[in-house]
Structure 1
Amino acid sequence: MGHDICGYNKARQEIAYARFSLGNSNASILYALLDAYDYHAGVSGSGEIASFSLQEIEKAIEKYKQVFKHDASSQLEPMDWDQKQILQFIQNCLTTARQEGSVSVFFG
Protein backbone atom coordinates (compact mmCIF):
# COMPACT_ATOMS: atom_id res chain seq x y z
CA MET A 1 0.00 0.00 0.00
CA GLY A 2 1.00 3.58 -0.57
CA HIS A 3 0.45 6.43 -2.96
CA ASP A 4 1.76 6.12 -6.51
CA ILE A 5 0.91 9.33 -8.34
CA CYS A 6 1.74 9.55 -12.05
CA GLY A 7 1.48 12.40 -14.52
CA TYR A 8 0.80 11.70 -18.20
CA ASN A 9 0.89 13.70 -21.39
CA LYS A 10 -1.76 13.43 -24.11
CA ALA A 11 0.13 10.53 -25.72
CA ARG A 12 -0.28 8.70 -22.37
CA GLN A 13 3.47 8.76 -21.72
CA GLU A 14 4.48 9.05 -18.07
CA ILE A 15 6.05 12.46 -17.50
CA ALA A 16 5.99 12.62 -13.68
CA TYR A 17 6.00 10.19 -10.78
CA ALA A 18 5.80 10.50 -7.00
CA ARG A 19 5.74 7.62 -4.51
CA PHE A 20 4.75 7.85 -0.88
CA SER A 21 4.88 4.78 1.33
CA LEU A 22 2.00 3.78 3.57
CA GLY A 23 1.88 6.14 6.52
CA ASN A 24 3.89 8.91 4.84
CA SER A 25 1.76 11.95 5.53
CA ASN A 26 3.63 13.98 2.91
CA ALA A 27 1.36 12.44 0.28
CA SER A 28 -1.33 14.77 1.58
CA ILE A 29 0.82 17.75 0.62
CA LEU A 30 0.77 16.81 -3.06
CA TYR A 31 -2.98 16.21 -2.96
CA ALA A 32 -3.43 19.60 -1.31
CA LEU A 33 -1.23 21.43 -3.81
CA LEU A 34 -3.26 19.94 -6.66
CA ASP A 35 -6.54 20.55 -4.81
CA ALA A 36 -7.20 16.85 -5.34
CA TYR A 37 -8.36 15.52 -1.96
CA ASP A 38 -11.25 13.76 -3.71
CA TYR A 39 -8.65 11.32 -5.08
CA HIS A 40 -7.07 10.56 -1.67
CA ALA A 41 -8.42 7.22 -0.48
CA GLY A 42 -6.50 6.93 2.78
CA VAL A 43 -3.83 4.27 2.36
CA SER A 44 -3.53 4.95 -1.38
CA GLY A 45 -5.01 6.98 -4.17
CA SER A 46 -8.52 6.33 -5.45
CA GLY A 47 -7.34 4.74 -8.68
CA GLU A 48 -8.85 7.55 -10.72
CA ILE A 49 -7.40 9.90 -13.33
CA ALA A 50 -7.91 13.65 -13.26
CA SER A 51 -7.06 16.29 -15.83
CA PHE A 52 -5.37 19.50 -14.72
CA SER A 53 -5.19 22.67 -16.78
CA LEU A 54 -2.10 24.81 -17.13
CA GLN A 55 -3.65 27.31 -14.71
CA GLU A 56 -4.27 24.63 -12.09
CA ILE A 57 -0.67 23.41 -12.29
CA GLU A 58 0.64 26.99 -12.11
CA LYS A 59 -1.49 27.45 -9.00
CA ALA A 60 0.04 24.28 -7.51
CA ILE A 61 3.54 25.68 -8.10
CA GLU A 62 2.58 28.91 -6.33
CA LYS A 63 1.14 26.96 -3.40
CA TYR A 64 4.35 24.92 -3.24
CA LYS A 65 6.39 28.11 -3.00
CA GLN A 66 4.20 29.34 -0.15
CA VAL A 67 4.22 26.05 1.76
CA PHE A 68 7.96 25.50 1.48
CA LYS A 69 9.01 29.17 1.29
CA HIS A 70 10.75 28.28 -1.97
CA ASP A 71 12.28 30.99 -4.12
CA ALA A 72 15.52 31.51 -6.03
CA SER A 73 17.49 32.27 -2.85
CA SER A 74 16.21 29.21 -1.00
CA GLN A 75 17.68 26.83 -3.55
CA LEU A 76 20.85 26.87 -1.45
CA GLU A 77 18.97 25.32 1.45
CA PRO A 78 18.73 21.52 1.42
CA MET A 79 15.34 20.01 0.65
CA ASP A 80 14.23 16.69 2.01
CA TRP A 81 13.39 13.80 -0.31
CA ASP A 82 9.63 14.37 -0.36
CA GLN A 83 9.98 18.11 -0.97
CA LYS A 84 12.19 17.32 -3.97
CA GLN A 85 9.89 14.70 -5.43
CA ILE A 86 6.82 16.93 -4.98
CA LEU A 87 8.59 19.85 -6.68
CA GLN A 88 9.88 17.68 -9.52
CA PHE A 89 6.43 16.17 -10.01
CA ILE A 90 4.74 19.56 -10.27
CA GLN A 91 7.51 21.02 -12.46
CA ASN A 92 7.28 18.07 -14.87
CA CYS A 93 3.50 18.48 -15.01
CA LEU A 94 3.97 22.20 -15.62
CA THR A 95 6.30 21.56 -18.56
CA THR A 96 3.74 19.25 -20.16
CA ALA A 97 0.80 21.53 -19.41
CA ARG A 98 2.66 24.44 -21.04
CA GLN A 99 3.19 22.35 -24.17
CA GLU A 100 -0.21 20.67 -24.32
CA GLY A 101 -2.56 22.87 -22.29
CA SER A 102 -3.23 20.20 -19.65
CA VAL A 103 -1.85 17.12 -17.96
CA SER A 104 -3.50 13.95 -16.67
CA VAL A 105 -2.69 12.59 -13.21
CA PHE A 106 -3.36 9.05 -11.98
CA PHE A 107 -3.83 8.69 -8.25
CA GLY A 108 -2.92 5.13 -7.31
Structure 2
Amino acid sequence: TGIYHFERKEHLLIQVQDDTALKFVDELLWKTPKESFLPHSISDDYTSDYIVITKSKNNLNKAKYLFNLSPDLIDFNPIYKIIYDFDDYTSPKKQEKSKKRFEVYRQAGLKIESN
Protein backbone atom coordinates (compact mmCIF):
# COMPACT_ATOMS: atom_id res chain seq x y z
CA THR A 1 0.00 0.00 0.00
CA GLY A 2 2.71 2.46 0.97
CA ILE A 3 4.84 1.54 -2.03
CA TYR A 4 1.83 1.91 -4.34
CA HIS A 5 1.14 5.48 -3.23
CA PHE A 6 4.81 6.47 -2.99
CA GLU A 7 5.52 5.34 -6.56
CA ARG A 8 2.61 7.49 -7.74
CA LYS A 9 3.82 10.46 -5.66
CA GLU A 10 0.59 10.41 -3.64
CA HIS A 11 0.63 11.56 -0.05
CA LEU A 12 -0.17 8.87 2.52
CA LEU A 13 -0.78 9.52 6.21
CA ILE A 14 -0.27 6.64 8.63
CA GLN A 15 -2.06 7.38 11.88
CA VAL A 16 -1.03 5.39 14.97
CA GLN A 17 -2.19 5.37 18.56
CA ASP A 18 1.03 5.53 20.56
CA ASP A 19 4.83 5.59 20.55
CA THR A 20 5.08 1.79 20.45
CA ALA A 21 3.03 1.57 17.25
CA LEU A 22 4.88 4.55 15.78
CA LYS A 23 8.26 2.89 16.36
CA PHE A 24 7.04 -0.45 14.97
CA VAL A 25 5.71 1.10 11.73
CA ASP A 26 8.83 3.25 11.36
CA GLU A 27 11.10 0.20 11.64
CA LEU A 28 8.88 -1.78 9.28
CA LEU A 29 9.10 0.88 6.58
CA TRP A 30 12.89 0.94 6.90
CA LYS A 31 13.04 -2.85 6.36
CA THR A 32 10.32 -3.44 3.78
CA PRO A 33 10.71 -4.18 0.95
CA LYS A 34 13.97 -6.04 1.51
CA GLU A 35 15.57 -4.54 -1.64
CA SER A 36 15.12 -1.00 -0.36
CA PHE A 37 13.14 1.02 2.15
CA LEU A 38 10.12 3.24 1.94
CA PRO A 39 11.06 6.91 2.48
CA HIS A 40 8.91 8.42 5.21
CA SER A 41 8.97 10.78 8.14
CA ILE A 42 7.63 10.86 11.66
CA SER A 43 5.94 14.13 12.45
CA ASP A 44 3.43 15.94 14.61
CA ASP A 45 3.78 19.07 12.48
CA TYR A 46 2.67 19.93 8.97
CA THR A 47 5.03 18.66 6.27
CA SER A 48 5.19 18.07 2.53
CA ASP A 49 6.65 14.55 2.87
CA TYR A 50 4.85 11.88 0.88
CA ILE A 51 4.56 9.32 3.67
CA VAL A 52 4.10 10.50 7.25
CA ILE A 53 3.65 8.45 10.41
CA THR A 54 1.96 10.36 13.21
CA LYS A 55 -0.02 10.17 16.43
CA SER A 56 -1.72 13.43 15.46
CA LYS A 57 -5.34 13.43 14.34
CA ASN A 58 -4.52 16.16 11.79
CA ASN A 59 -3.86 15.58 8.10
CA LEU A 60 -0.26 16.78 8.34
CA ASN A 61 0.78 16.23 4.71
CA LYS A 62 -2.56 16.96 2.99
CA ALA A 63 -2.86 13.26 2.19
CA LYS A 64 -5.75 11.88 0.20
CA TYR A 65 -4.97 8.42 1.55
CA LEU A 66 -5.09 7.49 5.24
CA PHE A 67 -3.86 4.28 6.83
CA ASN A 68 -5.61 4.23 10.20
CA LEU A 69 -3.77 2.00 12.66
CA SER A 70 -5.43 3.63 15.64
CA PRO A 71 -8.32 1.86 17.38
CA ASP A 72 -10.07 5.17 17.90
CA LEU A 73 -12.33 7.10 15.58
CA ILE A 74 -10.50 9.41 13.25
CA ASP A 75 -11.44 13.03 12.76
CA PHE A 76 -13.11 12.32 9.44
CA ASN A 77 -11.76 14.54 6.71
CA PRO A 78 -13.63 14.50 3.39
CA ILE A 79 -10.34 15.05 1.53
CA TYR A 80 -9.49 11.36 2.02
CA LYS A 81 -10.16 9.30 -1.10
CA ILE A 82 -9.28 6.03 0.60
CA ILE A 83 -9.09 5.12 4.28
CA TYR A 84 -7.33 1.86 5.02
CA ASP A 85 -8.46 0.29 8.28
CA PHE A 86 -8.61 -3.10 9.99
CA ASP A 87 -11.33 -5.19 11.55
CA ASP A 88 -9.71 -5.97 14.89
CA TYR A 89 -11.22 -9.07 16.48
CA THR A 90 -8.47 -9.68 19.06
CA SER A 91 -10.79 -8.66 21.91
CA PRO A 92 -14.48 -7.76 22.30
CA LYS A 93 -13.55 -4.14 23.09
CA LYS A 94 -11.39 -3.80 19.96
CA GLN A 95 -14.07 -5.50 17.87
CA GLU A 96 -16.64 -2.98 19.10
CA LYS A 97 -14.32 -0.06 18.22
CA SER A 98 -13.81 -1.53 14.73
CA LYS A 99 -17.55 -1.78 14.18
CA LYS A 100 -18.04 1.80 15.37
CA ARG A 101 -15.37 3.13 12.97
CA PHE A 102 -16.89 1.28 10.03
CA GLU A 103 -20.34 2.60 10.90
CA VAL A 104 -18.96 6.16 10.80
CA TYR A 105 -17.41 5.41 7.39
CA ARG A 106 -20.76 4.07 6.10
CA GLN A 107 -22.65 7.10 7.42
CA ALA A 108 -20.15 9.35 5.65
CA GLY A 109 -21.02 7.61 2.39
CA LEU A 110 -17.71 5.85 1.94
CA LYS A 111 -17.56 2.65 -0.05
CA ILE A 112 -16.32 -0.17 2.16
CA GLU A 113 -14.38 -3.09 0.74
CA SER A 114 -13.19 -6.10 2.67
CA ASN A 115 -10.59 -8.70 1.78
Same structural fold, with TM-score higher than 0.5 when normalized by the shorter chain: no
**Structure whose residues are more often strand by fraction:** 1
Structure with higher RCO (Cα < 8 A, 6+ apart): 1
| Short-chain TM bin | under 0.3
**Structure whose residues are more often helix by fraction:** 1
TM-score, normalised on structure 2? Answer: 0.26
TM-score, normalised on structure 1? Answer: 0.27
Which structure has the bigger radius of gyration? 2
